[in-house]
A and B are shown apart, each in its own frame.
Chain A
Amino acid sequence: MIEVSGLTKLYGDFVAIQDINFEVKDGEIVGFLGPNGAGKTTTMKILTCFMPATEGTARVDGFDIFDDAMEVKRRVGYLPETPPVYPELTVESYLTYVAEIKEVPWRERAKRVRDVMRSTRIDHVAGRLIGHLSRGYQQRVGIAQALVHNPKVLILDEPTVGLDPNQIREVRELIKELGRERTIILSTHILPEVSVTCERIIIVNQGRIVANGTEEEISLSLGGRGTYHVAVKAPRTELEALLPKIAGVQSIQYMHTLNDVHSFEVRCTEGKEMRDELFSALSEKRWPLYELKPPGVSLEEVFARLTSSDMEVA
């Protein structure tokens, strides 16, 4: 659905993004993760045809963002960092205006506006002036605006900024719901956000992509090195005898015991998926398995490692 190739943007001498390449498949929700100033917003502004790239290009639904900008604009819903709302208009008249300029046929306009107001839960403030709404509601109006022409692709720049915890949860649920039939790219620097909403993560730092994959893939590629964490309710000696015999296990290390549940770090052959073996070996003995954690590091750790300034990760 989206193919980005060799995207580079310079502001004078300053390199905002350099050689960005990635693909987003139809119906995927991709999280764009990176510290402030990493180039997330720049990439999004280029993808939405707000500004041209210095080099490279991208295709959205098969249309080039430079040569067929109009076709791209028709297919993309965009929520910029600041919700692009007119404080002097009411919510409903604002969304109607957006529907008009986004080419929603006039017969469907009123219905589309009503539908997006309902799905973003702003229908009860339809008649209020946007300028009188709280930041959270304005953000929701911004999301509604991006949805009004029913775009195939949604590009959301920090969609949960300025919302309270309840609203954040609502917006995340809304995004997941929308992601069922749409392709979504969202940027954020809030880590739990990507874990919760995104199927795939692209981490950018200093204008480059430093990681691209599912949360598990990225954390696996970085660390853990084949060490599984296992907690089993079983006689300790028998357990210590059994674990090293499982094919692929190289060594075990006892961690601690809590209410007869023993925790071990099980070191295995790197790169081999061991959960199947571990589970079947333990279930044969009918020992209840309390925890089985695959190797890998937490997203926080991944982020810290990949985006600390002196680190260059290929």
Chain B
Amino acid sequence: MDISACFVDLRDWFVDLVVKSFYVAKKELKTYFVSPIAYIMAVAFLFIAGYFFTMHLVNSRRADMAGFLHNMGVIMLFMIPGLTMRLLAEERRQKTMELLITSPLTPTQIVLGKYLACMTLLILMIGLTGLYPLIITHYGGKPDWGPIYTGYLGLVLLLSSLVAVGVFTSSFTDNQLVAAVVAFAILLLFWIVSWLTVYLEPGIWSTTAESLSLFIPYGDFIKGVIETRYYVYYLSVAFVFLFASVRMLEASRWR
């Protein structure tokens, strides 16, 4: 086969991927917004976010978002299992998976669509907190914008990993609760793994524990430090868990 035919195939594959994932994502977002879950989550999130923002501002009297952004990362850890648990598990339970599988959709398109829907919802939510730095400047604060930008960038990257974990745990069960609990356990592990460094001698194990953490790079982003390996790590974690979800969908057909 010559190169141009290869290219055409690849382009068709990509267009198909984008279009079909978009349809799946659109339906999923609709589902979020017709059920109370998106609103409850958004209200709870904004309430807690507002609380932390106010507390940090009042107590530190510094025009920055660092403390607030740190808390956001941890809040996401608790929220994401609730948003991802139903994504694939519910399709199994309702038997709508039969519709998806027997439609001209690939498992990749299904998984990617679900993932993008959840990411969109979360980015919308954290986008609303973009108001906070504007509040600071309105009252005469002069925040250092660099770390705020990188902090939000880090938050989105962090989410890209966390949500992928949630999609994965939703892919192997038809029970939403199981999906949520397992997601939470894995995410918690990604957070507390760095605590091991306290007990370990400095060396290979200690370094490994530290680099496995999804939250240490986020801390650096908040300080305004961006390293290429952080991008690579977040995106690799997202890729691995999404890939595993696709394989779970394919494998379930063989049972």
**Interchain Cβ contacts under 8 Å between A and B, 22 examples:** A11-B255, A48-B102, A50-B102, A52-B253, A74-B104, A78-B99, A78-B102, A80-B95, A80-B98, A84-B94, A84-B95, A84-B96, A85-B94, A85-B96, A86-B27, A86-B31, A86-B96, A88-B35, A89-B27, A97-B26, A100-B23, A101-B100
Residues of A with C-beta under 8 A to B99:
78, 80, 84, 98, 145
CA distance A98 to B255 in the complex (A): 26
Q: Which of A48, A51, A98, A101 contacts B254 (CB 8 A)?
A: A51
Residues of A with C-beta under 8 A to B24:
101
Query: A79-98 toward B: CB 8 Å interface, digit per residue (1/0)?
Result: 01110111111000100011
Residues of B with C-beta under 8 A to A78:
98-99, 102
Whether the pair B23, A50 counts as a contact (CB closer than 8 A) is: no
Whether the pair A84, B98 counts as a contact (CB closer than 8 A) is: yes
**Is A112 on the interface with B (CB-CB < 8 A)?**
no
Contact (A49, B101) CB under 8 Å given A84-B96, A89-B30, A89-B34: yes
Most chain B CB within a 10 A radius of its CB, from A50, A93, A97, A101: A101
Query: B87-117 toward A: CB 8 Å interface, digit per residue (1/0)?
Result: 0000000111111111111000000000000
CB distance from A271 to the nearest CB of B (A): 43
Would you call the interface of chain A mostly helix, strand, loop, or mixed? loop
CB distance from A7 to the nearest CB of B (A): 16
Q: Which of B27, B98, B105 contacts A50 (CB 8 A)?
A: B98
Residues of B with C-beta under 8 A to A88:
31, 34-35
Residues of B with C-beta under 8 A to A51:
253-255
**Is A70 on the interface with B (CB-CB < 8 A)?**
yes
Whether the pair B23, A97 counts as a contact (CB closer than 8 A) is: yes
Whether the pair B102, A82 counts as a contact (CB closer than 8 A) is: no
Interface residue count on the B side (C-beta < 8 Å): 24
CA distance A81 to B102 in the complex (A): 14
Most chain A CB within a 10 A radius of its CB, from B94, B99, B253, B255: B99
Closest to B100 in A: A101
Contact (A101, B95) CB under 8 Å given A73-B103, A78-B102, A88-B31: no
Most chain A CB within a 10 A radius of its CB, from B20, B96, B100: B96
Interface residue count on the A side (C-beta < 8 Å): 29
Closest to B31 in A: A88
CA distance A74 to B104 in the complex (A): 6
CA distance A215 to B85 in the complex (A): 49
Closest to A85 in B: B96
Residues of A with C-beta under 8 A to B104:
70, 73-74, 101-103
Give residues of chain A (112-134) contacting chain B, Cβ–Cβ below 8 Å.
Answer: none
User: What are the nearest 10 A-B pairs in CB distance?
Assistant: A84-B99, A100-B23, A82-B95, A84-B96, A80-B98, A48-B102, A101-B103, A73-B104, A97-B27, A51-B253
**Is A76 on the interface with B (CB-CB < 8 A)?**
yes
CA distance A25 to B79 in the complex (A): 54
CA distance A48 to B100 in the complex (A): 11
Closest to B110 in A: A101
Residues of A with C-beta under 8 A to B95:
80-82, 84
Give residues of chain B (134-184) contacting chain A, Cβ–Cβ below 8 Å.
Answer: none
Residues of A with C-beta under 8 A to B100:
101
Closest to A81 in B: B95
Whether the pair A89, B23 counts as a contact (CB closer than 8 A) is: no
Residues of A with C-beta under 8 A to B34:
88-89
CA distance A82 to B91 in the complex (A): 12
Q: Assuming A50-B101, A70-B104, A74-B104, what are 11 further A-B pairs, CB within 8 angstroms?
A: A50-B102, A51-B253, A52-B253, A73-B104, A80-B98, A86-B31, A87-B94, A89-B27, A93-B30, A100-B23, A101-B24
Closest to B253 in A: A51
Give residues of chain B (22-61) contacting chain A, Cβ–Cβ below 8 Å.
Answer: 23-24, 26-27, 30-31, 34-35
Residues of A with C-beta under 8 A to B31:
86, 88-89
Residues of B with C-beta under 8 A to A76:
102
Q: Which of B35, B98, B105, B253 contacts A101 (CB 8 A)?
A: B105
CB distance from B10 to the nearest CB of A (A): 16
Closest to B113 in A: A101
Closest to A101 in B: B103
Residues of B with C-beta under 8 A to A74:
104
Contact (A52, B30) CB under 8 Å given A73-B103, A103-B104: no
CB distance from A257 to the nearest CB of B (A): 58
Residues of B with C-beta under 8 A to A103:
104
Whether the pair A101, B101 counts as a contact (CB closer than 8 A) is: no
CB distance from A70 to the nearest CB of B (A): 5
CA distance A223 to B26 in the complex (A): 58
Residues of B with C-beta under 8 A to A48:
102
Residues of A with C-beta under 8 A to B20:
101
Residues of A with C-beta under 8 A to B23:
97, 100-101
Residues of A with C-beta under 8 A to B98:
45, 50, 78, 80, 82, 84
Query: B4-34 toward A: CB 8 Å interface, digit per residue (1/0)?
Result: 0000000000000000100110110011001
Most chain A CB within a 10 A radius of its CB, from B34, B35, B98: B98
